[in-house]
Amino acid sequence: MRKSFLSGVLAAFATAAAAAAPLQVSALHPLMADLARQVGGDRVKVVDLVGEGGNPHRFEPRPDDLARMQASALVLAAGKGLEPYLNRLHDSLQGVRVVEVGSNIPSLTLTRDGDGAAGTPDPHWWHGVENMRRAARVVALALADKDPAGKVDFLANAQTYGARLELMQRWATSELAKVPRSQRKLVTAHNAFAYFAKEFDFTVIAVAGLNAEQNNTPQALAQTIEAVKLSGVKAIFPEYKANAKVLESIAAASATTLAAPLIADGNGSGQDAGFEAMFRHNVQSITQALAAR
Amino acid sequence: MDCNFLRSPLAGTAGVLATLGLLAIPLCHLTSHRPPPAPSPLAPPPTADALTSAILRLKCLAPARSLRLTTEDGTILLDLTDVAAGESECDALLPISHNSLEISLQADLGTSTADTAVFLTIMPDARDAQTRFVLGSGSLSQPLRFNWQSP
């Protein structure tokens, strides 16, 4: 009798442990991984395939990444064309839902000519705080679809995260108010900050196009230098972990200061990892460089 | 019943699971400290190609006895009672026509004469978020108009 009771208790615990196993979620972007952690909490195990500090523009899934995605309940992509391999991924993964988190977020259109991307959606939607609030709900509902018992938790977490983002948005508005109108121009390494610029009333002069690795012709660089001089802006922004040589040349030619780098693609490391850290870092860099003294 | 069956591991497992199951129901209610779930909106009747999926975010600076959102044709989007101060979100299908939408907000803010505000943010798919608010006390009824550029 005692043996059968003990067996029953052990079996019950095994069943309970299996039922509480976290949902495995793979992410194709460090900030989608961050969203999954914020919203999923203990109910999810997040596999960040790009990795902290990795560049989602350069990521291409390898066979072991495909295996990890196949073992996941969900794959989160940023969407809006950032991941050109997504169609192939949909075909390759059997029974695994791929969620393009940014698909229903209103798009800005790339306008820069000469890089072949003009007229396509700008994929850097994560630079809008309001966009990230919307994305949190998208992720919550996607997780709930796979773990219905967790729906209340996921939505509550998304709401808590959203409240934190709202406070951060107010802080940013207050900080960036120190930048005078004449200086509300972001000269950046690549064309990644349009959503930020729209939300916080800046304009963007991007040196490179969609991707920091895109080459610039001498003519394009000359045009950029001229645009920077005409703008009257006092500082330009290189990019975190990117070669700043081109911007150094522009700064020298236009008599502007090279400011602290901005994190463009969620590829911060350590204390700069994740959306909130990236956003605070960028706001502080911009304010320090452009605020009236 | 056969005594051997009662001594079997299967019977033991079944007994333990049944006990845990009976305990789980009251324990779940006792241990849960989550806020009440966001109310489910009343979906408008489907009309072919006329409805846009959206997130609605409601923010009440003070509690409201009741709060109702209706579209121009009288369809009830949200019908709440005993609304706590704070923010909540829900999904809705909205009849956005020619990039415009009018929603009527009716609220009973109770007997306090102090003015308070109710904010409604609408985030339709592929369209920017827009926020409108009503300000006042007592019973309020106000149309809120939203306009978007073509997506």
Give the pLDDT confidence of B45-56 residue by residue, as tens digits.
444 357 999 999
Is pLDDT of B34 > 70? Answer: no
Is pLDDT of A215 > 80? Answer: no
pLDDT at res. A26: 98
Is pLDDT of B28 > 50? Answer: no
Pick the CATH number of A19-171 from 3.40.50.2300, 3.40.50.980, 3.30.230.10, 3.40.50.1980: 3.40.50.1980
pLDDT at res. B30: 46
- Is B18 a member of any domain? yes
Residues B1, B75 within the same domain: no
User: What is d(CA A172, CA B43) in angstroms, rounded to the nearest whole number?
Assistant: 36
Is pLDDT of A77 > 90? Answer: yes
User: What is d(CA A100, CA A77) in angstroms, rounded to the nearest whole number?
Assistant: 5
Is pLDDT of B44 > 50? Answer: no
Binned at pLDDT 50, 70 and 90, residue B1 comes out as very low
What number of other Cβ atoms are within 10 A of residue B127's Cβ?
22
Q: Do B17 and A12 touch (CB under 8 A)?
A: yes
pLDDT at res. A120: 87
Q: Do B34 and A3 touch (CB under 8 A)?
A: no
Q: Do B12 and A15 touch (CB under 8 A)?
A: no
Residues B66, B131 within the same domain: yes
Chain B residues inside the 8 Å CB shell of A16: 20
pLDDT at res. B43: 45
Binned at pLDDT 50, 70 and 90, residue A211 comes out as low
The percentage of residues in chain A with a pLDDT greater than 90, rounded to a whole number, is: 71
The percentage of residues in chain A with a pLDDT greater than 70, rounded to a whole number, is: 88
Binned at pLDDT 50, 70 and 90, residue A121 comes out as very high
Question: A179-290: what CATH class?
Answer: alpha beta
- Is B41 a member of any domain? no
Residues B60, B89 within the same domain: yes
Residues B30, B63 within the same domain: no
A81 to chain B nearest CA, in Å? 15
Residues B9, B65 within the same domain: no
Higher pLDDT: A246 or A33? It is A33
Cite the residue boundaries of each domain of chain A with CATH code 3.40.50.1980.
19-171, 179-290
Is pLDDT of A234 > 90? Answer: yes
A158 to chain B nearest CA, in Å? 10
Binned at pLDDT 50, 70 and 90, residue B151 comes out as low
Length of chain A, in residues: 293
Contact A272/A216 with Cβ under 8 angstroms? no
Chain A residues inside the 8 Å CB shell of B7: 1, 4
B16 to chain A nearest CA, in Å? 6
Q: Do A156 and B34 touch (CB under 8 A)?
A: yes
What 3-state DSSP class applies to A189?
Answer: coil
Q: Do B123 and A134 touch (CB under 8 A)?
A: yes
Residues B22, B69 within the same domain: no
> Quick one: A133 exposed, middle or buried, by C-beta within 10 A (0-12, 13-18, 19+)?
buried
Residues B62, B5 within the same domain: no
> Per the structure block, which two tokens stand in for A49?
């395939």
Contact A34/A12 with Cβ under 8 angstroms? no
Binned at pLDDT 50, 70 and 90, residue B36 comes out as very low
Contact A131/A105 with Cβ under 8 angstroms? yes
Could you list the residue range(s) of the whole structural domain that residue B85 is in? 52-147
pLDDT at res. B33: 47
Mutate to test the interface with A, among B128, B146, B149 (most CBs of A within 10 A): B128
Report the number of distinct structural domains present in chain B. Answer: 2
Chain A residues inside the 8 Å CB shell of B37: 152, 155
Average pLDDT score over residue span A45-49: 97
pLDDT at res. A219: 85
- Is B42 a member of any domain? no
Please, which residues 99-128 of chain B have a Cβ atom closer than 8 Å to chain A? 123, 125-128
Higher pLDDT: B11 or B139? It is B139
Query: Where is average pLDDT lowest: A55-59, A69-73, A259-263?
Result: A55-59
Chain A residues inside the 8 Å CB shell of B35: 156
User: What is d(CA A246, CA A236) in angstroms, rounded to the nearest whole number?
Assistant: 11
Residues B134, B103 within the same domain: yes
Average pLDDT score over residue span A104-114: 80
Residues B98, B56 within the same domain: yes
In chain B, the residue whose alpha carbon lies closest to the alpha carbon of A129 is: B129
Cα distances (Å, whole numbers) of residue A222 to A110, B11, B43: 21, 82, 56
pTM above 0.80, yes or no: yes
- Is B47 a member of any domain? no
